[in-house]
Homo-oligomer: A and B are copies of this chain.
Amino acid sequence: MSSYELFYWPTIQGRGEFVRLALEDAGASYLDVARVKGERVLYPFIHGKRGLGPGVRAFAPPFLRAGKLVIAQTANILLFLGPPLGLVPAGEPARLAAHQLQLTIADLVVEAHDTHHPVGSGLYYEEQKPESLRRARDFVASRLPAFLGYFEGELRRRKRFILGARASYVDLSLFQVIEGLGYAFPNAMRRLARRIPRLLELRDRVANRPRIARYLASERRLPFNEEDLFRDYPELDSRGPR
């Protein structure tokens, strides 16, 4: 029996991927429930209509079952998983620092997502293209450099990983964000490359961790696609050959 059950959309990386990467890096035993049973298994739980147990319900996937506990909100799941998976330094100050970084990654992820959904998540991209063009321009010109400059600065003041000498779930999430941004905004990321050398090194360092490398090469790693958080829409990227 698996120690953990992850409930998340089975055809996208999305927010669930931040949890998958932590579980994979730790070699944890887990079941990616909807990948086995189909995404219909998630429908009853949307907007808290049902719960897996008597506790607080989830507003949206991902949520994780760990014994009697059911935990939702990506960053909250990682806050919980950090200590048992050995993916956060010991002690409350380090745990809060890791979580602060993770919440800032979550903010960046919302803004990256909203480049293709600035009007509403219930509408198709094709229904909000002019708005997307404007939002993406602002994102690429000002928000993306601000966020990445911030994370680069945090890496600069420490060693190898963002919280110090050892990898944490935050490093795995930074890998995922850099990969996703490189997929969605290859031109913008190429232009930023000189300014974020440590983030790019970190991305490679994480990709080469043995369990992560095996995961990325496996069929468990879903490909990026245009139903996902990060979407390859060339018109939203900086101009240039791709």
Contacts and interface: CB of A to CB of B under 8 A. Distances in A.
B48 A69 contact: no
Interface residues of A, number: 50
A90 to B, nearest CB: 15
A51 B101 CA distance: 14
Contacts of A143: 120-122
A104 interface: yes
A168 to B, nearest CB: 11
10 contacts: A55-B93, A59-B107, A71-B96, A71-B100, A75-B103, A79-B79, A80-B92, A80-B96, A119-B135, A131-B135
Interface of A: 47-49, 55-59, 68-69, 71-73, 75-76, 79-80, 92-93, 96-97, 99-101, 103-104, 107, 110, 114, 118-123, 128, 131, 134-135, 138-139, 142-143, 146-147, 149-150, 153-154, 163
